[in-house]
Structures are given as C-alpha cells and as structure tokens.
Amino acid sequence: MKNYITFPRVAGTASRQAHCDLPKGTFEREFGREGFFGPCTHLHHTHKPTGWVKWEGDLRPYAFDLNKLPNTSNTPWNAIPMFHNATCSVRWWVTSGKMDHLVTNAESDELLFIHEGSGDLFCDFGHMAFTAGDYIILPRGSKWRLECKGTAQILLIESKYDGYRLPDKGLVGPHAIFDPAMLDVPELNDAYKAQMDTKEWQVVMRRAGKFTTVTYPFNPLDVTGWHGDNLPVRINWRDIRPLMSHRYHLPPSAHTTFIGNRFVVCTFAPRPAEMDPDALKVPFYHSNNDFDEIIFYHMGQFFSRDNIHAGMVTLHPAGFSHGPHPKAFKLAEEADAKRKPTDAPKMLDEVAVMIDTRESVEIADDIQSTEWAEYPQSWRE
C-alpha cells in the first residue's frame, strides 16, 4: 500500500456522496489516482468537463473502427497490432478455417476475446470449443491452434513477462463476479484423440519478437493425461454476474475480470441502470490519471456513447477528463425525470471489454486508417 498524503477536505458547495446528490446545475468530475482505488477528489463544475471545442496535439480521445480492417490469416502471428507498451499488447485477428500449424507464445500469456465466430481450440491440455463472447486464457509456452467454423474475429490481449490473475474480490467474496468453478478447461476427449497423428507438424514460437519454427514428425498435441493447475481457462461474458448498486454508479473497477502485468481487463455486461433518483445513471466524468483506457465494443447499445457501434475500439489516454456523450447524458436525465419509484429498472444491454494500462500505449500504424477523425469533437452539443 502506497503511503499517499490523504487528508479529505471539503470546499464550497459539495455533495457528500460521490456520484449522487450533485449540487443543482453542476457536473461532477472525479480526479483520482490508482485507477479507482487511490486518493480522489470530486469537483463540481459549472460546465461539462467534455465541453472542449478544439484539440491540437496527440493527447486526445481516439476511436477506431476495426470492421474496416482486412482479414488477416490463419496464424495469430499475422494479427494486426493495435496498441502496445512494455507489458501489454492488443491485436486484432480475423481468421477462418483450420490452422495448419501450432503456435507458442514464449514471452506472453495470451488472452483471446472472441468477438465473432466459433470453433475448436486444440492445445497441450486437450480440446475446448469456443464461441462468441468467450474469454480464453492461454498460459505462456502453451502449444495451440484453432479450427474455426467460418470466420472468427478475435481480440488478442498479451500480458508480457507475467501471467493473468483474478482480482481481489474483497467485500463481495470469491464467488463474485463469476464463480471460479465456472472456468472451463480443455478436455482430453474424442475430438482431441481424433486429431493426434504422425504427420509432420510445425510449431511457430515467438520470443523477444523473433520467430522460431520447430518441426516434429508427429503431432505434439498427443497428451493422454495431465494433472495440475497451470491450465488454459475459458469463461463467457454471459457467465459474468456484474456487481451493481441501485443507488450508486459503481466505478469500472467493480467489473475487473482479469489482471495482467500492469493492466486490468474489465467486462461491462448487461445490468439494470441505477434507480435512485439522485444517483448518476451514466458513467461519471473522470480523469483516470494513472491509466490509459482502451474499450472494445462487443455488442448491445453502448449507453454512454453516441455513434459507437460493435467492433469499434476507443482509447482515452490518461491526462484529460472524459465521460458520457451529450445524447446519452440527456437521455439519462430525461428518463430520470419521468421515472416513478415503482417503475421497473431500465436494462442496459451493452457488452464491452476494457483494458486499462498503467503505462501509456502506442498506437500501431496498422489501424490509423480506421480512425474516426471526428471523435474528439463528438462531445459537442
């Protein structure tokens, strides 16, 4: 625990509870450290913190439309680089059919998020079917390949030099936000046995950015038994039961699903909107001063965003305030005004994957052509 200088004070007219009971006509901005865990001040502004009229320079909000990227190929090593820093990289892989080789990532644990498509994963530990909405973690050093039914679109998130972990569940206990017993592992089933053969197979490995190919006169996925706890795991967002409070908009950290090396992966899954008339219904404006925020939009209506559709990704680097788009903000306000205490909660159906990185990320040239250049201006009223 860092020994920050903390001494809460109050100035002017202020609410006593974050994200609730805001002084009339003000807009709250959270100015925090350590993601949503450190020292933090809530400022009540007269104008929306996203009310800028012009941006000049590279520190700005970015949006990219991955639907505009070409198909890649049947190896993850050709996936399109999107964002990277020293401990994390995010790539986009559009693949179809059957991989004719195995791959081993010898420097990173690999997290696959299946945006579209389905198929079968074969790895050292057996066979596992996959479908849209699955997260699959492959520990570094695993040999694996995919057989896709049609085309699959996959987000690849690498944790370099350290593996994925589950977050501390604290007050809510180990069975939130999904029970670890829901994590599926590969099986040594008939599908796995059927793919064993004595043909020539190649394993393409990557370490320190360099590739090495090793040839075997048999399929090295030939395991007949195993025991242990260093395994690939799978969980679908549909098995995630998001935390929520009817009286308080929980910060994104409440949706932390996995922790990588100096980054976190959070899942925004469908949930009811807050019901308390004086609680915020859209994400609060905030400056997440220690993390860059990448959000990939998977499906549903992205309730805090205007003009964002599935398959898009946004990057909000640390250093400036961001928050809901005007239309989303207005809709939430109007819904609030009409709401009776007996009304059923409004259901929010968005599914999105957020990757918050401690160090700033670089944007790969490969996705520049898909940028929605007007995004910084999309908060204009």
Minimum Å distance from CB 316 to Fe ion? Answer: 6
Tell me whether the omega of the peptide bond preceding residue 177 falls within 30 degrees of 0, making it cis: yes
Residues in contact with Fe ion, shown as a per-residue x/- string from 293 to 322 under the rule CB under 5 A: x-----------------------------
Tokens of 24: 């009339």
Q: Binding-site residue total for Fe ion (CB under 5 A)?
A: 2
Residues in contact with Fe ion, shown as a per-residue x/- string from 258 to 297 under the rule CB under 5 A: ------------------------------x----x----
Minimum Å distance from CB 287 to Fe ion? Answer: 9
Amino acid (one-letter) located at 36: F
Which residue is nearest to Fe ion, using beta carbons?
Answer: 293
Give whichever of 49 and 311 is closer to Fe ion, judged by the CB atom.
49
Give whichever of 22 and 294 is closer to Fe ion, judged by the CB atom.
294
Minimum Å distance from CB 352 to Fe ion? Answer: 12
Strand-pair partners of 214: 203
Minimum Å distance from CB 286 to Fe ion? Answer: 6
Q: What is the 3-state secondary structure (H, E, C) of the chain?
A: CCCCCCCCCCCCCCCCCCCECCCCCCEEEEEECCCCCCCEEEEEECCCCCCCCCCCCCCCCEEEEHHHCCCCCCCHHHCEEEEECCCEEEEEEEEEEECCCEEEECCEEEEEEEEEEEEEEEECCEEEEECCCEEEEECCCCCEEEEEEEEEEEEEEEEECCCCECCCCHHHCCCCCCCHHHCECCECCHHHHHHCCCCCEEEEEEECCEEEEEEECCCCCCCCCCCCCCCCEEEEHHHCCCCCECCECCCHHHHEEEEECCEEEEEECCEECCCCCCECCCCCEEEECCCEEEEEEEECCCCCCCCCCCCEEEEECCCCCECCCHHHHHHHHHHHHHCCCCCCCCEECCEEEEEEECCCCEECHHHHHHECCCHHHCCCC
Minimum Å distance from CB 249 to Fe ion? Answer: 12
C-alpha 256/C-alpha 240 separation (Å) is 11
Give whichever of 293 and 350 is closer to Fe ion, judged by the CB atom.
293
C-alpha 155/C-alpha 105 separation (Å) is 15
Minimum Å distance from CB 293 to Fe ion? Answer: 5
Minimum Å distance from CB 323 to Fe ion? Answer: 8
Give whichever of 105 and 288 is closer to Fe ion, judged by the CB atom.
288
Count CB-CB contacts under 10 A for residue 321.
Answer: 20
Does 158 bind Fe ion (CB under 5 A)? Our answer is no
Instruction: Please give the residues from 60 up to 89 whose contact with Fe ion meets the rule CB under 5 A.
Output: none
Minimum Å distance from CB 325 to Fe ion? Answer: 13
Minimum Å distance from CB 167 to Fe ion? Answer: 17
Give whichever of 89 and 288 is closer to Fe ion, judged by the CB atom.
288
Give whichever of 261 and 287 is closer to Fe ion, judged by the CB atom.
287
Give whichever of 158 and 293 is closer to Fe ion, judged by the CB atom.
293
Give whichever of 119 and 324 is closer to Fe ion, judged by the CB atom.
324
Give whichever of 126 and 251 is closer to Fe ion, judged by the CB atom.
251
- Residue numbers at the binding site for Fe ion (CB under 5 A): 288, 293
